[in-house]
Amino acid sequence: MLYKLFKKKDVFALLSESGGSNDGLRRSLSMPHLVTLGIGAIVGTGIFVITGQAAAEYAGPALTISFLISGIGCVLAGLCYAEFAAMIPVSGSVYSYSYATIGELLAWFIGWDLILEYLFACSTVAVGWSGYAQSLLQGWGLELPHSIAGSTFEHTAAGWTLTGSIINFPAVFIVGVVATFLLGGIRQSALVNNIIVVIKVSVILLFVGFGLAHIDVGNYTPYIPENTGEFGHYGWSGVLRGAAAVFFAFLGFDAISTTAQETRNPQRDMPRGILLSLLICTALYVAVTAVLTGITSYTELHVDAPIAYAIDSLGGQLAWLSPLIKLGAIAGLSSVILVMMLGQSRIYYAISKDGLLPRLFSRVNLRRGVPQNATIFAGVATGLAAGLFPLHVLNELVCIGTLMAFAIVCLSILVLRKTQPALKRPFRVPLVPFIPLLGAAICIIQMVALPWNTWLRLIGWTALGLIIYFTYGIRHSKLHKKS
């Protein structure tokens, strides 16, 4: 029984799979597509939503340090992802890598963790999109009724409560629109993403450029607010918790690796796409955070649309920029949902191909080259989560899932270097074992900094995943049937 649980998928079988017919998936993506997919996924909620909340709750103006810590951790993890993506260019990202290095049970655990990551990432961004859309509508004199304008549930120190809202309709609406685009095929989805990336990066540069003239240096004092006596609430522990909270903002490069089987030259282009998108986005994050906390006191930024709030707080000085910021945020968040839902559907597809989820998720629409059932299911699951739950609960779940996945990728590099030293590696992580160990350590430290309630939710999600594996996955595993 134990042998079955830790049986590994042959690396050469994975390589053969990546070079075959791809079961209908089409190789349509080039290196520029990968960079814009990365920017499309990374630049979104991290800038337009999470920056304000993390500054208000955890780090104050020192959130710039938090972004640098997370950025360093992501670059280290990104180097490890780049080696795997170039070496084993298949759908499934770290799930597929884990299957070849640490066995089926742990691969399932990681795959289930990735579903958590992408599902709640999409949902978090959809809730943020809803906040900006409603802010824009209010500027035009339109206001949605409370019954369809917020999450059904709220979570506070006292526990779960009903808000009086039936569902967050704008969040559900944008998920449905994005799912429709994804069903049109990877080429159409990439084109839509490219257009949106140009719009949102232009808006961000406008905010930074014009916002510099309105910075009040008094808002930077104190740069690191004094700790309140509670771990993670300001002070250096707040900077660390802020780093864990904004780690979600860098999630996009992880999503790039799920499209390996749809990339024309994955061995060459995957590493470049991952690392270049990370460097561009880190620079944008630090610049926006510095301007945002300079324009407005961090104590006022606990809102769903902090950049829009900061622009509005200046009154008439930048009134012309406010609708552009909101439109840019709406467009930008849409691209994040698109890339994250794309990644989510490819995870369902990869796990289903191995038999650990029902076969219907790996069926591909041959005319469009899309795993149609997986995409529809991703849309339904994402829409429900976005419509029912509040932003902060979804964000913390994504952070812990992402950090765990990154840590395992870093450690898996060491395992595969030891167990498969002869494998062809078009890209190699430098300074092994220092970089993988440091990357894993930064991720684990940030996980420890997250609240205990977040760990409890992860434990509950893991328990559900194990139930599914032992009641369905282990009995339908293609690897076990072959042996």
CA–CA separation, 115 and 119 (whole Å): 6
Over the chain, what is the mean pLDDT? 82
pTM (2 d.p.): 0.79
Six-digit token string for 412: 């898996």
Listed ranges 154-163, 202-211, 362-371, 393-402; the one with the highest mean pLDDT: 202-211
**Mind listing the domains of the chain with CATH numbers?**
2-482 (1.20.1740.10)
pLDDT at 21: 47
Residue pointed to by tokens 């998108």:
277
DSSP 8-state secondary structure symbol assigned to residue 46: I
The residue-averaged pLDDT of 123-131 equals 83
* pLDDT tens-place string over residues 13-71: 666 665 544 456 667 777 888 888 888 878 776 677 778 888 888 988 999 999 888 88
The residue-averaged pLDDT of 116-138 equals 82
Q: Which residues have C-beta within 8 Å of that of residue 57, sequence separation ≥ 6? A: 233, 245, 302
Cα R_g (the chain), whole angstroms? 21
Pick left, alpha or beta for residue 226 (phi over 0 → left; psi -120 to 50 → alpha; otherwise beta). beta
Q: Which residues have C-beta within 8 Å of that of residue 259, sequence separation ≥ 6? A: 29, 34, 37, 91, 186, 342, 343, 346
The residue-averaged pLDDT of 136-161 equals 78
Nearest to 6 by CA among 348, 462, 474, 465: 474
Contact 51, 289 (CB under 8 A): yes
Six-digit token string for 337: 């949902």
Q: How far is CA 285 from the centre of its chain?
A: 15
